[in-house]
Amino acid sequence: MLSFVRRHKDDNLVPTLCDAPNLDPFGACRVCSVEVALEEGGPVKTMASCHTPVSEGQYIYTSTPSVQKLRKNIIELVLTDHPLDCLTCEVNGNCELQTVAAQVGIRDVRYPAGDNHLHKTKDLSHPYMTSDFSKCINCYRCVRACDEVQGEFVLSMAGRGFDAHIIKGLDQSFMESDCVSCGACSQACPTSAISDVFQSKAIQATETTRTVCTYCGVGCNLDVATNSGEILSITAPYDAEVNQGHTCLKGRFAFKFYDHPERLDSPMIKRNGEFEKVSWDEAYTYIADKFTHYKNTYGPDSMAGISSSRCTNEENYLMQKFFRAVLQTNNIDGCARVCHSPTALGMQRTFGTGAATNSIEDLKYTNCIMVIGANPTDAHPVTGAKLKQFAMKQDNVTIVIDPRRTEIARYADHHLALRPGTNVAVLNMMMYYIIDEGLVDESFIKNRTEGYEDFIKELMAIDIDKLEAVSGVPREQVKAAAIAYATAPNAMSFHGLGVTEHSQGTFTVMQIADLAMLTGNIGRRGVGVNPLRGQNNVQGSADMGVQPHQGAGYLDVTNPEINKRYNEFYGSELPLHIGYKIPEMFDAALDGKLKAIWIIGEDVVQTDPNTQKVIKALNATDLVIVQELFMTETAKQADVILPGSSFLEKSGTFTNGERRVQAVRQVVKPIEGTKPDGQIIVDIMNRMGYSQPDYTPDGMLEEISQIVPFFAGIKWERLGQNGLQWPVAPDGTDTQILHEQEFKRGLGYFEFHPWEETQEITQHGKDFPYILTTNRELEHYNCGAMTRRTANEQILKSDYLMINPADAESHLINDGDFVCIESPRGKVDVKARITDEVKPGILSTTFHFPDIMINNITGDVHDSEAMCPEYKVVAVRIRKSKGKFKSLLQDK
């Protein structure tokens, strides 16, 4: 009834305290009571309108004197137990209790003062979350936000009657509890009973700007509040289609890096081993002269670029254009190389398009999800929360394929805890059982695919005994999961880096696509293959041509027709041969062939495998240009540093993991001394003699829409609040579901791939018997350069090693001890966290902290097709640390 009244009359006609836009109706406060009759003038009944269904023929009286009296009485009772300190309260002027009290006409409270809860103490234990339960009105909004939005169940109501009160965990502080700091409770709370240190509900802001989060590929919309050019706080807009009023702690709270004192604020050139601040003009001349010299002396392929998923589509487009049109080389690559390049390649081979087939919204229409090689509640938290909500519902089926018992695995109906490196084995077993059980979608296979005859012949010859043994997953478990997936009316798959960062990463992606085709789970709502893209704009950077084999719009650089088109469009002669992928750039540097490299917003020293090799490669390159926000480990190796801008200081677009191109809007001016990355690239293009207009998002999008076919209808002014999902037709019509009638390549392509043991194990497994996998933690992102410069650092201070209790016991390792992990590349010391989340023989750690530098021990094995490094299988041995590194860390 409440929604009905709001929709047809007025949003503010019926007041409420416990209702919130992203929560289910609850009926705690009764302030929304209305009178309902079944005939005009007939007897009325008072009902809470928020959770009473509306039906035909009802007469709803929203403002009768008796209803108004009831509302006023409720608020008076609430106010008898509420501190009347409005003038000094943080939410004064933006307090829903204050607003409703005014709305119902409270002038005084008729009840005498009685027992109350005004003595409750504040909880200031947490770097972000605060509480002051003297202001609590027991509306349950925070509890419901924690349950219904985040699915964390940290907040609950204890006590009965007058003693009823909100508790965190087992009546702990925010810091002691399992709170994940998403801030959903704070945003839901109508008073300041739960708030945050940025006082995001206060009204100091003079302006609010809608933009998009810089961290992960979910692409949450953020409302950024500012006053006099200073960012005050961030909240999540309820009308955002991507995140509907939710964020994780990175999007909502981890923004203070933007004006951190350590921001680089001047171009610098390294002379005699020391960085010297120089003017932009001097830096540009230095770079342009060097590039011109290398081009003339060693040829265009002596230079390479690594662009950034942190940057906008327009900036990535410019970076690849600079390398292709100005330097005339295809040596341009990006971080997709080390994360989802196998996804792009594998899905292109099978479907013709290397992007998510569906949208996250399709979770509403599916019956089964298969999450493989992904830990979404840490790495893609807002989507992770939705997947978790799905998994918790009774009739839904959830399959998790992951070596770790991740949070979502705990809710799964089927958890296939395979040995790292055996995805192909398990997926082949699944497909074997689907075919064996006669569960294939024959008509889909017949009408929409090719290659099935050869595929099935090879697949049905697999050795189940062997695959069961190597994967460590009992065949009955695999069969049950296969049947669950194949018999669900609609099944969606979600995969992450646990699929791609393997020697058989591309083949695994192709198998996930095969599984979808085998069961007809493609081309409609609630199905499909949905990679969980890692960094915020990794999808967009590849779309814009930041890869050495395909230019902007995934067009083949070796195709003469396409080459002609690019040449005409760019007014230059582009090369027809494929350029270096990132690992090949480092190899070329070590071979003396690479003279210059320009790296934007990517800390390759900390995040790429085999750190020492990367450092050697950079040292072997004559000119290393690093465009960055901070002095990262890679920036330290630079010859020239260019200070770029954060997402809060520039405009453009990011493309999220569901192909949604969204507007990033400048919130504040770039920090003094820095420039938007796009403008830096434009300046250097012009300095090199190529005429490129100044960087503007609308101007760049106009150019992009002329060369990238699926951006044809994307114009800055069309993006609105929720963006557009590509492909976008010239008239602006976008696409939520791909491959509805036919695949981009025509017919979907089946191709069988047998499981093969990775070289990392065949070569080193005997001497290094443990398998280490690397992963991400909720609090930090990638190299952590940004999140480590926020209060997230107080929540998670260091990388740690997950180790099974049995392994810890056999090495006499206690929780918190430092463990020396040694691989054929080197050793590092990491603190142990003993947990049965990993099985015996398996170790897991993160790579967010440079003092640990876990990539000192990761290796050079990579995906056979896309050259994505195999971070997920590192052969290691362990022992309790003798203390060499431990003392270093303790000193810090």
Residues that bind ligand SF4 (CB under 6 A): 213, 215-216, 218-220, 243, 247-248, 250-251, 380-382
Q: Nearer Cβ to ligand SF4, position 213 or 820?
A: 213
Minimum distance of ligand SF4 from residue 783's CB (angstroms):
15
Measured distance CA(776)–CA(507) in Å, rounded: 23
Taking the complex as a whole, the smallest distance from the CB of residue 371 to ligand SF4 amounts, in Å, to 16
Please report where in the chains the tokens 């709001």 appear, as a residue.
6
Strands of 194-196's sheet in order across: 122-123, 129-132, 194-196
The structure tokens listed for 764 are 């080193």
Q: Is 267 left (phi over 0), alpha (psi -120 to 50) or beta?
A: beta
Dump the DSSP string for 358-369: S-GGGGGG-SEE
In the bound state with ligand SF4, the residue whose beta carbon lies nearer, of 181 and 199, is 181
DSSP H/E element including 296: helix 280-298
382 vs 488, which CB is nearer to ligand SF4? 382
Q: Give me the least distance between CB of 593 and ligand SF4, in Å please.
A: 38
- How does strand 623-628 pair with strand 640-643? parallel
Cα–Cα distance measured from residue 92 to residue 202, given in angstroms and rounded to the nearest whole number:
7
Q: How far is the CB of 591 from ligand SF4 (least distance, A)?
A: 38
CA dist 769 to 262, 418, 766, 804, 880, Å?
A: 41, 16, 6, 14, 16
Residue 710 to residue 697: CA distance in whole angstroms: 17
Q: Is the Cβ of residue 217 or residue 697 nearer to ligand SF4 in the bound state?
A: 217
**Least distance (Å) from ligand SF4 to the CB of residue 656?**
8
- Give the DSSP letter string of 630-649: S--TTGGG-SEEEE---GGG
Query: CB-wise, 665 or 880, nearer to ligand SF4?
Result: 665
User: Which is nearer to ligand SF4, 606 or 787 (by Cβ)?
Assistant: 787
The answer to whether 494 touches 387, Cβ cutoff 8 Å, is: yes
- Are 252 and 234 in contact by the 8 Å Cβ rule? The answer is yes
Instruction: Please state the closest distance from residue 220 (CB atom) to ligand SF4, in A.
Output: 3
Which of 479/776 has CB closer to ligand SF4?
A: 776
Residue 52, classed as helix, strand or coil, is coil
Q: Which is nearer to ligand SF4, 215 or 390 (CB)?
A: 215
CB of 634 to ligand SF4, least distance (A): 22
Look up residue 312 and give its two tokens: 């906008």
Question: Please, what is the minimum distance in Å from the beta carbon of residue 382 to ligand SF4?
Answer: 4
CB of 376 to ligand SF4, least distance (A): 9
Residue for token digits 């992203």?
A: 22
Nearest residue (CB) to ligand SF4, 363 versus 642? 363
Tell me how far, at minimum, the Cβ of 182 lies from ligand SF4, in Å: 8
CA distances from 60 to 30, 31, 100, 781 (A): 15, 15, 20, 51
Residue with smaller CB distance to ligand SF4, 15 or 127: 127
- State the residue for tokens 């609850």: 26
- Between 647 and 871, name the residue whose CB sits nearer to ligand SF4: 647
- The burial class, CB within 10 Å (0-12 / 13-18 / 19+), for 693 is exposed
Chain residue at closest Cβ approach to ligand SF4? 251
* Pairing relationship of beta strands 800-803 and 748-749 according to DSSP bridges: unpaired
Matching residue, tokens 């499909």: 528
Nearer to ligand SF4, 214 or 611 (CB): 214
Identify the CA nearest to 349 among candidates 503, 516, 513.
Answer: 513
- Closer CB to ligand SF4, 71 or 250, in the complex: 250
In the complex with ligand SF4, the residue whose CB is nearer, 251 or 551, is: 251
Dmax (CA) of the chain: 94
| DSSP label of 145 | I
Three-state SS for 46-104 is: EEEHHHCCCCCCCEEECCCHHHHHHHHHHHHHHHCCCCCCHHHCCCCCCCHHHHHHHHH
Residues 6+ apart with CB under 8 A from 889: 798, 818, 829, 851
Beta-bridged to residue 624, according to DSSP, are 597
Residue 309 CB, shortest distance to ligand SF4, in Å, is 12
* 85 DSSP 8-state letter: -
Q: What is the DSSP string of 326-347?
A: IS----EE-GGGGTTHHHHHHH
CB 842 to ligand SF4: min, Å: 27
What six digits make up the tokens of 739?
A: 């491959």
Q: Closest approach of Cβ 388 to ligand SF4, in Å?
A: 13
Distance in Å, CB of 384 to ligand SF4, minimum: 8
User: At how many degrees (to 10) do helices 65-79 and 96-104 cross?
Assistant: 140
